[in-house]
Amino acid sequence: MKTIHLNRDNLQTWQKQAEPSVMALGCFDGLHLGHCEVITIAKEKALEKNVQLAVMSFFPHPKTVLTNGKKQIQYLMPLFEKKDKLQRLGVDLFYIVEFDKGFSSLYPDQFVIQYLAQFDVVHAVAGFDFCYGSRGAGNMDRLNQDSGGKIGVTKVEKVAYRDEKISSSCIRERLLTGNVEELPHFMGSFYKVKCDWDGIELTPQPYYTLPAPGCYAVTLEKKETFLKTEVKVLQQHDGLTLKCATEIPPEWKGTLSIVWQSRIVEANVQTCKKKILIS
């Protein structure tokens, strides 16, 4: 998969190099089941038309830019992890558009012409609520018209769990209330956070969201080895910190992952369980 960072300075260069593609559009933070549905449908269209499968995402998050930084989005997934998952989904091209005030001021038809039509996009796929252009005035019902009739459009209807739309926002809400056991219904798997372990402290890597303060049943992962244990999320004056209930093997120093499985109600918290290593 080829990853291309787009901004106003290099836009024309990449336009000239573009080849026909079907484009999936969205922020794709967390790559939840709704996002995967959009990409799967886009992949089917790309195969049908015998062109490349492309994904276009935006960074930083539009809400952060549009509120002048007053609203900071808690990301679910860093860029490197998003790239890995997109590659596994069969994406050929991953465009990351620099979202700034200039980009946000484009009229809807300007966005479609400059970022889709001039990139030789033959078909665009996005969720039913995807919007684009200044003040979000563009939507999937007018994209074909904004392209001068050149780009086909597939609008993906709501993907839901128990009639609730699967979205990055609802995943963040569950993390921030500690309901991690519900996340597989939205993400297809338990939420996973990569951390750095120096033998003393567990430090989450950037662009992940920790669950609410409390005690959680988790699995620590290091390559092909797993450790079932409990981790406490503690609120400190300078933010959240992590404390593991069992001793982490010294040979695990470096990067490991925490898989958040369920919150432990405080009244039922037992003394630290003996560690279980599964190789």
Q: Across residues 145-165, what is the average pLDDT? A: 97
Query: Tokens 């009229």 map to which residue?
Result: 107
Indicate if 19 and 138 belong to the same structural domain. yes
Indicate if 72 and 152 belong to the same structural domain. yes
Mean pLDDT of the chain, nearest integer: 92
CA angle centred on 253, ends 247 and 259, rounded to 5°: 65
Q: How confident is the model at residue 112 (pLDDT cuts 50, 70, 90)?
A: very high
Indicate if 155 and 180 belong to the same structural domain. no
Classify 121 as helix, strand or coil: strand
Indicate if 257 and 198 belong to the same structural domain. yes
Q: How confident is the model at residue 197 (pLDDT cuts 50, 70, 90)?
A: very high
Which of 103, 126, 161 finishes a domain?
Answer: 161
- Give the model's pLDDT for residue 61: 81
Amino acid making up residue 179: N
| pLDDT tens, residue by residue, 117-135 | 999 999 999 999 999 999 8
- What are the counts of helices (DSSP H) followed by strands (DSSP E) for the chain? 9, 17
- Give the model's pLDDT for residue 278: 35
Indicate if 152 and 179 belong to the same structural domain. no
- Give the model's pLDDT for residue 238: 82
Indicate if 145 and 9 belong to the same structural domain. yes
CATH of residue 127's domain is 3.40.50.620
Which of 161, 185, 209 finishes a domain?
Answer: 161
- Give the model's pLDDT for residue 275: 39
* 25-63 burial code (b ≥16 CB/10 A, e <16): bbbbbbbbbbbbbbbebbbebbeeeebbbbbbbbbebbe
CATH of residue 213's domain is 2.40.30
Structure-token pair, residue 38? 């959009």
Domain hosting 24: range is 2-161
Indicate if 85 and 188 belong to the same structural domain. no
Indicate if 171 and 264 belong to the same structural domain. yes
Which of 135, 161, 187 finishes a domain?
Answer: 161
Query: Tokens 């539009």 map to which residue?
Result: 62
* Distance from C-alpha of 275 to C-alpha of 190, rounded to nearest angstrom: 20
The separation between the first and the last C-alpha atoms of the chain, rounded to the nearest angstrom, is 31
Q: How many domains does the chain have?
A: 2
Query: Tokens 């004056």 map to which residue?
Result: 237
- 174 contacts 180 by C-beta, under 8 angstroms: yes
Q: Going by C-beta distance under 8 Å and a sequence separation of 6 or more, which residues neighbour residue 239?
A: none
Indicate if 10 and 122 belong to the same structural domain. yes
- 127 contacts 36 by C-beta, under 8 angstroms: no
- Give the model's pLDDT for residue 266: 67
Amino acid making up residue 206: P
Q: Across residues 264-273, what is the average pLDDT? A: 58
- 275 contacts 227 by C-beta, under 8 angstroms: yes
Q: Across residues 76-83, what is the average pLDDT? A: 95
- 111 contacts 133 by C-beta, under 8 angstroms: yes
* Distance from C-alpha of 209 to C-alpha of 169, rounded to nearest angstrom: 12
DSSP character string of 168-194 = HHHHHHHHHTT-GGGTHHHHSS-EEEE
Q: Which residue has better confidence, 273 or 210?
A: 210
Q: How confident is the model at residue 267 (pLDDT cuts 50, 70, 90)?
A: low
Q: Nearest CA to 262 among 184, 179, 161?
A: 179
- Give the model's pLDDT for residue 71: 73
| pLDDT tens, residue by residue, 221-262 | 999 899 999 999 999 888 899 999 999 999 999 999 999 999
Phi, psi of 137 (to 5 degrees): -75, -20
Amino acid making up residue 166: I
In the predicted model, is pLDDT for residue 271 greater than 70? Answer: no
